[in-house]
């Protein structure tokens, strides 16, 4: 199979030079994401009998409708300002708060906050970014699905140390972050019930649809894909229906005072007829080798995926993530993701080049989720 892959590393794409990437020194997913500590939960039947069931719709917004159980002596704070509440993509805004019984020292409380996503993320990815941004210490995390993650973390506020059991859920473009917050000196007494409370919190509906506005792109009458409007499409000249290609660029302004734009990620989709593919395993190896030119070197497999939900008419050959290194700047780590699929008379090669999860977690999370959206929504038309 003969073709050239158009390679782009992460450099300024208008006036200017190379712009540095934000980086995290730690090995993110190894050191930051700890398993939940072993805690004996209160018996569920006992918890149900000693708690009150709340079913609420904050601000009349059906997307925020939830159910929750809290101990019977807890009280709900009335919030008259809630009538004018609107979910924002700028701040994590509080929509509900409950307080535990009065005692000497600080009271425990339960709060529900929301924020709107700009881009598709999993609940775990959003939570990691939130914890990093605020400098919180994670004591344990449990990911239950792409839309739900539970966590225990520690934070300090007004010279008081708190321990929180929390759950982040995503519905559509909205994150709902709910937490049972306990002064550290009362943690041993309340930790069991706090986890039961978090377990009981559930949104009424979960929307797993698109977060951003999407635009369709059609490869003649062969296939159609959907891509987010925030990515820039670069279509390759179409010289033959045997080989069709497009590029998608994640480009961000360096800052509001500069005309420089920084390439944060690049995806490509290649459609190749089976008539120019001799041996698919060998051609995949050749495809990867042709990427390892100039500045980039693709190395070991990081991860293999079997959880992508593709079109029913599409057959997955393989979906993998590889380590990639910039030869000129060996300290810069990247990842190269490759999905190979087959339908009708065409093989589909979908690629992603992104800063690694340890180099720039935010860009990695956004890029890999967009890659998943692209792969899962390519639709053969033949």
Encode pLDDT of 133-173 as tens digits: 998 999 999 999 999 999 999 999 989 999 999 999 999 99
Burial of 76 by CB count in 10 Å (0-12 exposed, 13-18 middle, 19+ buried)?
A: middle
Check residue 240 and report its DSSP letter: B
- Mean pLDDT value across residues 117-136: 93
pLDDT of residue 61: 87
Encode pLDDT of 312-355 as tens digits: 999 999 999 999 988 776 667 899 999 999 999 999 999 999 99
CB-CB contact of 280 with 3 (8 Å): no
- 27 falls in which pLDDT band (50, 70, 90)? low
Q: If residue 192 lies in a helix (H) or strand (E), which one and from where to where?
A: helix 187-200
| Average pLDDT along the chain | 86
- 364 falls in which pLDDT band (50, 70, 90)? very high
pLDDT of residue 80: 60
**Is the pLDDT assigned to residue 13 strictly greater than 70?**
no
Task: List Cβ neighbours of 22 (8 Å cut-off, separation of 6 or more).
Answer: 360, 362
**CA-based Rg of the chain, rounded to a whole angstrom?**
24
pLDDT of residue 17: 27
pLDDT of residue 59: 81
| Cα dihedral value 72, 73, 74, 75, nearest 10 | 110
Encode pLDDT of 221-272 as tens digits: 999 999 999 999 998 788 888 999 999 999 976 666 666 778 899 999 999 9
Q: Which of 9-13, 104-108, 238-242, 335-339 has the highest mean pLDDT?
A: 335-339
Task: Say how many C-beta atoms besides its own lie within 10 A of residue 205's C-beta.
Answer: 11
Q: Rounded to two decimals, what is the model's pTM?
A: 0.86
- Mean pLDDT value across residues 352-378: 94
Counting residues of the chain whose pLDDT is more than 70, the rounded percentage is: 85
Structural domains of the chain, with CATH: 33-203 (3.40.1000.10), 214-380 (3.40.1000.10)
């Amino acid at each position: 199979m003969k073709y050239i892959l158009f390679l782009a590393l992460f450099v300024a794409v208008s006036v200017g030079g190379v712009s540095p990437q934000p980086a995290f020194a730690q090995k993110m997913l190894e050191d930051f994401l700890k398993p939940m500590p072993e805690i004996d939960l209160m018996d569920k039947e006992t918890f149900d009998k000693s708690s009150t069931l709340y079913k609420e719709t904050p601000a009349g917004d059906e997307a925020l409708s939830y159910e929750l159980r809290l101990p019977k002596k807890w009280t709900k704070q009335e919030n008259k300002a809630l009538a004018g509440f609107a979910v924002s993509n700028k701040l994590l805004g509080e929509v509900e708060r409950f307080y535990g019984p009065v005692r000497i020292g600080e009271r425990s409380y339960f709060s529900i906050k929301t924020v709107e996503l700009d881009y598709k993320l999993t609940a775990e990815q959003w939570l990691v970014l939130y914890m990093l941004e605020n400098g919180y210490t994670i004591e344990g995390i449990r990911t239950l699905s792409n839309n739900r993650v539970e966590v225990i973390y520690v934070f300090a506020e007004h010279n008081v140390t708190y321990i929180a059991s929390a759950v982040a859920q995503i519905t559509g473009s909205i994150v709902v972050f709910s937490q049972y917050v306990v002064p550290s000196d009362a943690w041993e007494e309340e930790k069991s019930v706090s986890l039961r409370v978090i377990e009981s919190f559930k949104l009424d509906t979960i929307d797993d649809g698109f977060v951003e506005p999407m635009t369709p792109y059609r490869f003649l009458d062969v296939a159609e894909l959907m891509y987010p409007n925030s990515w820039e499409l670069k279509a390759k000249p179409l010289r033959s229906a045997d080989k069709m290609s497009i590029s998608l660029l994640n480009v961000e302004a360096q800052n509001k005072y500069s005309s420089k734009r920084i390439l944060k990620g690049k995806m490509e989709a290649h459609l190749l007829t089976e008539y120019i593919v001799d041996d698919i395993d060998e051609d995949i190896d050749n495809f990867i080798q042709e990427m390892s030119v100039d500045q980039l070197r693709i190395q070991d497999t990081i991860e293999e995926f079997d959880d992508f939900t593709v079109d029913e008419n599409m057959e997955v050959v393989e979906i993998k993530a590889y380590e990639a290194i910039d030869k000129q700047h060996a300290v810069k780590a990247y990842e190269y993701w490759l999905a190979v699929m087959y339908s009708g008379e065409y093989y589909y090669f979908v690629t992603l080049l992104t800063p690694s999860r340890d180099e720039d977690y935010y860009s990695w999370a956004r890029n890999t989720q967009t890659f998943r959206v692209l792969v899962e929504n390519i639709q053969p038309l033949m």
